[in-house]
Structure 1
Amino acid sequence: MDGKEMARKHKKLILAGILCCSIVVDGGFFPMVNFNPQNPVDLGILHRLLVVMGALWFHQAVGALEAVVFPKWSGGRIAVFNVFLVASGLVCRYLLEFGEVSNSYNFTVLNVFFQVTLLALMSTAVCLFERRKS
């Protein structure tokens, strides 16, 4: 049994793993870039670069897995699934910090839009590219 057959056989387990890891990664790496000028925390350029690269690397792996697990899903359906993954991480992060002052300067429209758009597009693009490649 090759890797693709095994991935399709264990589809539900892989989906559960992707969801759990996405919640941790997307919630933990939020905001990758904070566009709010009132943000009192400045972590430096190296830290930001590591966070962005880590999030993009994770979503590249998610896209590659989706290409194997969902070979017949349309690009739109994959994109909606990826938006759900990123949004679920952000919702969990919001609930974790509910009532804290950091939510007021982290959860701005621009920060959320940037995070959801960039990461969902990354996973979707990799998935579609991997499908065309094979």
Structure 2
Amino acid sequence: MELRVAKTKKMSDAMHDDINDGLRFRNSNCFCGMRAIVRISDKRNENRYRLFLCCPKDACRFFQWCIPLKTSLSYAEDFQQLQEELCVLREELRVVHDKVHLLEQTKKMVKIIFIGWCLLCTTLALLLTVIMT
């Protein structure tokens, strides 16, 4: 009788281990900062029935294929934290990009104004030269 209990216990432990060794996917946040949701591709191509992450509101057009993790859950938590930091860095990069773009536009306007002043001064100098002679 004890042998059967031991076998049953070992079998249930093995089943439990199989469950723990199942596929794991990294959670992710979309560009909006919200928790991305998992969907199944229904396209009629090689990606049909493939899992992907996207924005729950389809606001930021976030898209990422689900790639199974082959690491333990503790690493998965580290990956989740890195993913969240990556989203923050992407947003900061977007803000910096917008500021640089604005500075480039301002720089172009300053050049145009400078060239305009140079042309005006040259024209005035030519007119004064003509008038003086």
**Normalising by structure 2, what TM-score?**
0.23
Q: Of the two structures, which has the highest relative contact order with CA contacts closer than 8 Å and spacing of 6 or more?
A: 1
Looking at secondary structure, tell me which structure has more strand per residue: 2
**Normalising by structure 1, what TM-score?**
0.23
Looking at secondary structure, tell me which structure has more helix per residue: 1
